[in-house]
Structure 1
Amino acid sequence: MADWSNQSLIRFTHTEFVLFGFPGIITHRKLLTLPFVFVYILILTGNFTIVYRIFMEKSLQAPMYFFISILFLANISCTTSITPKFLLGLSLGLDRISRAGCLAQMFSIYSMTIFESGVMLAMALDRYVAICRPLRYNDIMTTRTLVVLTCACWARSVCLVSPVVIMTFSAQYCRSNIILNFVCENMGLLSLACGDISRQKLVGLVVRSFITLGDFSLLVLSYSTILNTAMKIATGKTRNKALNTCGTHLLVAMFIYMCTIISSIIYRMHRSISIDILNLVSAMYLMLPATVNPVIYGFKIKEIRKCLTKSWRKKNHLTRT
């Protein structure tokens, strides 16, 4: 580890940075290429498959499935802004990234993460109207409403992320340009800064706390109200369907937020944890939800499961004939 650090400190410029993930296993970094390629293929295949089925099946042309497809497209965008560059660094040593590229990657990661959280809130609103105001559902959840909600989620993410990114890159960098991570993230960059960075850290902490605690609290409150109403007014199949659908959304939301909370806790303990473990936590935080979400929705939502099964049987039949 001393070799690469000594060489890298001889000459550097802050017009570009080096994304040096997993420095503790420098001689075996290429071995990580295969598992990350496999995970990335799983993400693309799983998310694109469900988005395609939702787009093609008339029975899935409903607001709930629209938001699911938006969530999956955000998953794809977030991981695509990270993984190809990371894989090029692992396999070919192309681990340098320009200052502008680093800014763009950071903005993409954080904006998509906050956008996903906003979409989860929009999905909760959709379920609230469907179960608590069923007679007005078609009047409220129109195409215009879906577009407005999607744009509002995106505008919110941009407004929250922009100060974090701008303040991070306004810091004065005077140390090595090596980021000991495989992505550009604000704490990794700020560790290279000199001078007072307390404001940058505070803004980042406030935004993360607002999203994690604020959005999660709203989701729990929303689904508690929805499930309480469903238990009172629904019976039989209707109640079971409401419980299953809301339970699935809440499960996905809890999984996403738990990854965020665990990541935050571990990063606060960074002095007692190796850099490689921190990088692994970052990878899980950024890639695991995108890998697991299609599995959860594919198995738990009956309509999606039926469409996937029908498609698989049709493809299998054509293959045999």
Structure 2
Amino acid sequence: MAALNLTPSDTSTFMLMGIPGLEAAHIWISIPFSMFYMISLLGNFMVLFVVGKEQTLHQPMYLLICMLALTDIGTSTSIVPKALCIFWLNLKGITVCACLTQMFLLHTVTAMHSAILVTMAFDRYIAICNPLRYATVLTNVRIAKLGLVGLIRAILFVLPLPLLLTRLPFCANRIILHTFCDHMAVLKLSCGDTTFDGIYGLVVSFIIIGSDLMLIALSYGLIIRAVLRISSKTAHQKALNTCTAHICVILISYTPFLFTALTYRFGQGIAPHVHIILADLNFLVPPMLNPIIYGVKTKELRDKVGKYTSRR
């Protein structure tokens, strides 16, 4: 109950206000929040369980799907529990350390998610353009190493964000108009010079998202070129069908992220609660839809999930 009595001037605490302007509707907003979160956990844990149990699914593509499921669980879990505490219990206080930790975890998992999508694009490129070398080029061990590289990259780029913030003085008014500790939202609370921090955040976003999108575009450019060289329309369809799920996940992952990032930095005319809702949906909807997409579009995974659910 102490969190209810915190004042914005508390030197060790920030105040997360939820969705300003919609405080009266917080309880109603919490319903889709909790539903999306539960569906996300159920779907992603189901994917992890089925792939773990079925030896026939212990292949690079399904290992990548499991990695994606783990990042989806991490993304939604980084923000939803605290958001629900705000909506249900009005527990708005969060320590500076907890706030920076949440920021680090959220952005690290997001960067890792992007790295996995790049690896998936490379997986599809090898499967379509060099199918005879697929088993030798993409082994489970190599996929695990690529995942580790993606994690190390994410940590190295994201860790300076909270570390840089610790050197800045914060104003007496420590109110964060958000449901979670976003980097830009926390940065705006500082009374010091935040120029370098803002530039670094932009550079990191450009390097990670920009380079990953270019690599994905390159992979699919090579895939399209290889497919167009195939004379059989049936082969065309079969090759493109193997990419459908991945393309859908890319669209629902990057499109809302880029839109949210642009509106947050340059859309000053947009109402604050719209910014916040868009940011929340960006971290809620993709983790919920990704396991559904792969469950529907990937026949082997769909059949195995059906086997276990029908038993129940």
TM-score, length basis structure 2:
0.92
1:61 match: 58
Post-superposition Cα deviations, 1:207-241, rounded to whole Å, max 9, x if no partner, equal 11222222112101102212322443585765433
Post-superposition Cα deviations, 1:161-205, rounded to whole Å, max 9, x if no partner, equal 112222233222123111110100111111111132111111111
Quick one: distance in 1 between partners of 2:70 and 2:310? 25
Indicate the structure whose relative CO is greater, using CA pairs within 8 Å and at least 6 residues apart. 2
> Is this contact kept in 1: 2:8–2:15, CA < 8 A?
no
1:257 match: 254
2:187 match: 190
Q: Cα 1:313–1:150, aligned 2, differ >3 Å: closer, same or farther?
A: same
1:219 aligns with 2:216: yes
Q: In structure 2, which of residues 128, 134, 137 is the aligned counterpart of residue 137 of structure 1?
A: 134
Q: In structure 2, which of residues 107, 110, 113 is the aligned counterpart of residue 110 of structure 1?
A: 107
1:93-172 to 2 correspondences below 5 Å: 93-172=90-169
> Is this contact kept in 1: 2:44–2:70, CA < 8 A?
yes
Give the C-alpha shift of residue 134 in structure 1.
Answer: 2.1
Give the C-alpha shift of residue 140 in structure 1.
Answer: 1.9
Q: Cα 1:268–1:292, aligned 2, differ >3 Å: closer, same or farther?
A: same
Q: In structure 2, which of residues 277, 284, 288 is the aligned counterpart of residue 287 of structure 1?
A: 284
> Is this contact kept in 1: 2:227–2:239, CA < 8 A?
yes
Give the C-alpha shift of residue 270 in structure 1.
Answer: 4.4
CA RMSD of aligned residues (A): 2.1
Pairs aligned (count): 309
Structure 1 residue runs of 5 or longer lacking an equivalent are 1-6, 316-321
Give the C-alpha shift of residue 33 in structure 1.
Answer: 2.1
Give 4+ residue runs of structure 1 displaced > 6 Å after superposition.
Answer: 7-10
Deviates more, 1:254-263 or 1:165-174: 165-174
1:30 aligns with 2:24: no
Q: Cα 1:30–1:155, aligned 2, differ >3 Å: closer, same or farther?
A: same
| Identity in percent | 33
> Is this contact kept in 2: 1:78–1:113, CA < 8 A?
yes
Amino acid aligned to 2:307: K
2:174 match: 177
TM-score, length basis structure 1:
0.89
